[in-house]
Amino acid sequence: MNAPHRPAGKAPMDDVTLYGPASWEGPPRRYGPVARVAVLSDIHANIPAFEAVLAEPDVAAAGLVVLCGDLTWGPQPQETYELIAALGDRVLCVRGNADRFAAGIGISGERAATPRQAWIAAQHSPEAMAFLARVPFGVVVEIDGLGPVHFCHGSPRSDHELVTPGTPPERFAQLSAALDARVLVTGHSHLQFDRAVAGLRSVNPGSVGLPYHTGEPGTAYWALLGPDVRLRTTRYDAAEAVARAHLAADPEAERYAATLMEPPTPERIVEDAEDRIFVN
């Protein structure tokens, strides 16, 4: 999700294109049981933040690392792919809207509407693009103390639906109606929270690479699951992340830096997200 620009109003559901599982996917694959799962989301190719979180002892010791989408769409997408590949079988990824969009431009020939869209796609090797095209829409992991946990990026019905601490119980019940799990973990909103709603538990680990928060710049957000949910933060060098964006010649380096250093507040994001609901 990008920093908000308020629209005239939200579109009715009938007018929204949903981006759910790809044609080659069946039901989400199931994994586990696992004692501990580290959950990282919305890395947005911020290598200093990603490396700092991966270095956390609890992440290194976790049985699985789940990356909850939007791995790419930032200054260092190829390096991000290489770090993910190095994790091997310890990592499970789910597809974010940014990952879908990058693969659409790089593989399916969708038109890039801006210079940065073209630039992002060009930063991926063929192997990285092939990887993005294979990332599934969602996974389910059996975690000690929590039972089956469903992981996706936006919501179980679309990778670009926003779930926030302000999502009304009625909409949450609708988007989670098909779940075979009591815990839903999503990303996309870049907000960290743990909330009981509509008889389920709604968790967002927050964003590693581009959080919306009121904390100090250089704070990466993530979560440790099992036997309960622990919301965590890690400090990293935000100035280095900004420098790398400029060094990479990211066409939107200035906007990226501004969002890292002066992010929109969670209150503003919740208001905007609940007004728009679906944001690519």
- For residue 78, being part of any structural domain is answered with yes
Q: What does the pLDDT read at residue 34?
A: 98
Residue 8: predicted pLDDT? 36
Closest CA to 209 of 38, 85, 40: 40
Please list, in sequence order, all residues whose beta carbon lies within 8 angstroms of the beta carbon of residue 273, skipping any fewer than 6 positions away.
Answer: 1, 4, 162, 164, 166, 189, 279
Whether 120 contacts 202, CB under 8 Å: no
**Does residue 21 sit within a domain?**
no
- Using an 8 Å Cβ cutoff, are 179 and 163 in contact? no
15 found inside a domain: no
Cα–Cα dist 100/255, whole Å: 22
Q: For position 13, what pLDDT does the model report?
A: 65
- State the CATH number of the domain containing residue 206: 3.60.21.10
The two three-digit tokens of residue 39, written as one number: 């959950």
Q: Which among 39, 36, 40 is positioned nearest to 50, based on CA atoms?
A: 40
**pLDDT means over runs of 10, the chain (280 residues):** 43 79 95 98 98 98 98 97 97 98 94 95 97 97 98 98 98 96 98 98 98 97 98 98 97 96 97 96
Provide the residue range defining the domain that includes 147: 29-276
Q: Is residue 1 part of a domain?
A: no
Q: Locate all alpha helices (DSSP H) within 62-168, ordered by sequence.
A: 77-86, 97-106, 115-122, 126-134
Please state the domain count of the chain: 1
Whole-number pLDDT of residue 12: 53
Q: Is the pTM of this model over 0.85?
A: yes
- Let me know if residue 251 belongs to a domain: yes
> Considering the domain boundaries, does residue 4 fall inside one?
no
Q: For residue 178, tell me if it sits in a domain.
A: yes
Is 39 domain-assigned? yes
Q: Which residues contact 13 (CB under 8 A, 6 or more apart)?
A: none
Per-residue model confidence (pLDDT) at position 6? 34
